[in-house]
Amino acid sequence: MRRYRSPALCAAIVTVALLATACPSSSDLDRMANASNELAHDVLLANRVVAEFYTAGKMPLDAKDRIANKLGTIGDKGEKFNDSLIALDKKYPQGTLPPQDLQFVRDNLSELRQLYSSVLADLLPFKAQKAVGALNKDLSTIEKVVNP
Amino acid sequence: MNFSDIIAGLQQALPILAGLSGHPELGVLGQKLIGIAEAEIARRQQTTGKTRAEVLADAAATYAQFRAENDALKRAGHE
């Protein structure tokens, strides 16, 4: 099981990206934009860390493939989420969203959270419980951005 | 700056990296992970003061970069 210890550190590094989520800002849309940007950098960072572990022979091919595919799904949906925010930014330049649009954003973020949870489940066999716990906490912080 | 100095600096900014200090066997991989973390720290230090549109544009560019790197990761081991 020793070879699985390093992927646990992988999860720790991934978690780092989620430690600081959205910065305090002046409007709904400002907070969501910051959250979206953090999510984008998180998924990129996670991809790079997994790539380094796989290249170093610390992660088996099947695990790499499974996590890479899930990260790809998160990236696709996260990009669409960001595109939606860009459209909302043009529609509501003052940054305050009506309830229906706010709910739309909340639903999207909730879906992204579920996908992240799926990635966490993949990391658990690598003895990454501590990191997973921290990541869950960070995801909760992200959700508070749109569920204050 | 030696390995311990790097770890000490990172621990101040990113406490979760503390676990790395107990795994000197990580060697080159550990150094690469630290490099990734340092780049992330630097990025976060540069994000203040951006407009909303700039933040969203940054996210869009990041997803484009992610797509390219994720495709490469998916191909790895299958070529």
CA distance A69 to A65: 6
CA distances from A126 to A12, A58, A132 (A): 11, 11, 11
For the segment A79-111, what is each residue's pLDDT rounded down to a tens digit?
A: 999 999 999 999 998 888 888 888 888 788 777
| Interatomic CA distance for residues A10 and B26, integer angstroms | 11
Q: Per the CB < 8 Å rule, is A58 touching B62?
A: no
pTM: 0.70
Contact B14 A30 (CB under 8 A): no
Closest-CA residue to A25 (of B59, B5, B51) = B51
User: What local confidence, expressed as pLDDT, does residue A86 receive?
Assistant: 95
User: What residue spans define the domains of chain B?
Assistant: 1-46, 50-79
pLDDT, position A137: 52
pLDDT, tens digit, 9 for 90 and up, residues B8-64: 444 443 444 444 445 555 566 666 766 776 777 777 777 678 899 999 999 999 999
Residue type, B29: L
Nearest neighbour of A44 by CB, restricted to B23, B47, B69 = B69
Q: For residues A45 and A119, is the Cβ–Cβ distance under 8 A?
A: no
Domain layout of chain A by residue ranges? 2-146
> Helix, strand, or coil here: B75?
helix
A33 vs B17, B52, B74: nearest CB: B52
